[in-house]
């Protein structure tokens, strides 16, 4: 099959189109013909080797972390799907490879594609949808009337998280450029802070939850908007000891992660709030919850641009160079 492969860790030139063997299937696997896949910042971090401690992929490997397509074969123990089903998924972190013609995944990581969405729209959802769900529902347990700040509201995670937080009954603030104010308001944001002209921590106070997708100084300043007992959940900040334990990391890696996050955890404790790092996990069950919201129109996808499969490198470059206007960049199979 044709696929885009990371030949070695490094810059954009390390990704090449190649013919690779078809995926091997297990008894619990579904084999999916990919119709569309989307680009995530995670793909770029994997390609450069930034995440080798967490995700030690052995090169060469096929890149790509979420997709939509059709089931073309099922394993002997598969009960949830049959040939011809339209599905979407974020594969388990050990089985990525969405920039390809085929992928094999465990049935538990797959869900039926929302009937109201195109393949391209569906492919834009799994990774960012699961990230928003695991942050706001699973980790923060957002309740009606709570105040939630979502950074980078026009980004892939942000566009879904705003809508999910509103569905959960929260008052939602977000950061975005002035040009994207109308978009994030249309998604449900109650308050928009133009991060280029205003320091969000000077105007937002007593928030219950912050979802940080930026890291760095933005993460540090986010502590100041939380009420006592509030939570900042970051997908861009330093890994914490809880994540190291969940990962099953060896003692050396655990110590390293604890050291990396020591400063932000100490600052959070001093303000009587909590910091946690989130690395989302594949989950077909949670995707089914998200599917219901998509088909009901409660959440809608935001797609920036669709590229043909042969243009996968250009799609990656659009995200890497910061040219995305809003939402997700998608790759479409011919």
Encode 147-195 in three state secondary structure. Answer: EEEECCCCCHHHHHHHHHHHHCCCEEEEEECHHHHHHHHHCCCCEEEEC
> What's residue 247's pLDDT?
87
Phi, psi of 293 (to 5 degrees): -70, -35
Measured distance between the N- and C-terminal CA atoms of the chain, rounded to whole angstroms: 14
Instruction: With cut-offs at 50, 70 and 90, classify the pLDDT of residue 26.
Output: very high
Looking at residue 59, what DSSP letter applies? S
DSSP lists the bridge partners of residue 191 as 173
Looking at residue 113, what DSSP letter applies? P
* Domain spans in the chain, listed from the N-terminal domain onward: 2-125+301-332, 127-277
CA distance 323 to 13: 19
Other beta carbons within 10 Å of 17: 13
Instruction: With cut-offs at 50, 70 and 90, classify the pLDDT of residue 53.
Output: confident
H-helix segments, the chain? 41-48, 119-123, 126-133, 156-167, 181-186, 216-222, 241-247, 251-270, 284-295, 312-320
> What's residue 311's pLDDT?
98
Whether 28 and 107 have beta carbons less than 8 Å apart is answered as yes
Backbone dihedral region for residue 265 (phi beyond 0: left; psi -120 to 50: alpha; all else: beta): alpha
Phi, psi of 255 (to 5 degrees): -65, -40
Tokens of 118: 């195109």
Instruction: With cut-offs at 50, 70 and 90, classify the pLDDT of residue 319.
Output: very high
pLDDT tens per residue across span 117-164: 999 999 999 999 999 999 999 999 999 999 999 999 999 999 999 999
Closest to 287 measured CA to CA, from 102, 98, 78, 80: 80
**Average pLDDT in the 224-233 region?**
98
CA distance 48 to 55: 12
Share of the chain above pLDDT 70, in %: 100
**Domain covering 127-277: architecture:** 3-Layer(aba) Sandwich (3.40)
DSSP lists the bridge partners of residue 69 as 34, 87
Tokens of 196: 């280029």
**Domain covering 2-125+301-332: architecture:** Alpha-Beta Complex (3.90)
> What's residue 334's pLDDT?
80
pTM for the whole structure: 0.97
CA distance 166 to 145: 10
Tokens of 219: 């993460």
pLDDT tens per residue across span 245-287: 888 888 998 999 999 999 999 999 999 999 999 999 999 999 9
SS3 category, 110: strand
SS3 category, 233: strand
Q: Rounded mean pLDDT of the chain?
A: 97
CA distance 120 to 67: 9
């Amino acid at each position: 099959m044709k696929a885009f492969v990371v030949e070695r860790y490094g810059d954009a030139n390390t990704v090449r189109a190649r013919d690779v063997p078809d995926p091997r299937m297990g008894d619990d696997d579904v084999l999916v013909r990919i119709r569309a896949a989307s680009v995530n910042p995670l793909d770029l971090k994997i390609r450069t080797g930034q995440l080798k401690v967490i995700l030690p992929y052995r090169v060469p490997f096929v890149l790509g972390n979420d997709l939509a397509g059709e089931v073309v074969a099922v394993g002997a123990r598969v009960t949830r799907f049959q040939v011809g089903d339209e599905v979407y998924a974020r594969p388990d972190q050990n089985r990525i490879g969405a920039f390809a013609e085929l992928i094999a995944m465990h049935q538990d990581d797959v869900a039926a594609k929302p009937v109201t969405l195109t393949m391209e729209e569906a492919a834009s959802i799994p990774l960012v949808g699961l990230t928003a769900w695991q942050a706001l529902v699973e980790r923060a347990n957002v309740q009606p009337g709570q105040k939630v700040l979502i950074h980078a509201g026009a980004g892939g995670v942000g566009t879904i998280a705003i809508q999910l937080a509103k569905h959960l009954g929260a008052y939602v603030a977000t950061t975005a450029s002035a040009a994207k104010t109308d978009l994030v308001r249309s998604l449900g944001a109650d308050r928009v802070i133009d991060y280029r002209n205003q320091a969000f921590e000077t105007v937002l106070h007593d928030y219950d939850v912050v979802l940080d997708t930026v890291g760095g100084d933005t993460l540090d300043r986010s502590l100041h908007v939380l009420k006592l007992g509030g939570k900042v959940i970051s997908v861009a900040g330093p890994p914490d000891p809880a994540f190291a334990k969940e990962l099953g990391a060896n003692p050396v890696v655990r110590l390293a992660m604890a050291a990396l996050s020591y400063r932000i955890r100490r600052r959070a404790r001093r303000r009587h709030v909590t910091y946690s790092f989130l690395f989302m996990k594949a989950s077909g069950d949670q995707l089914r919850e998200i599917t219901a919201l998509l088909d009901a129109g409660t959440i809608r996808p935001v797609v920036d641009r669709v590229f043909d499969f042969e243009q996968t490198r250009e799609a990656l470059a659009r995200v890497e160079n910061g040219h995305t206007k809003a939402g997700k960049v998608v790759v479409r199979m011919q």
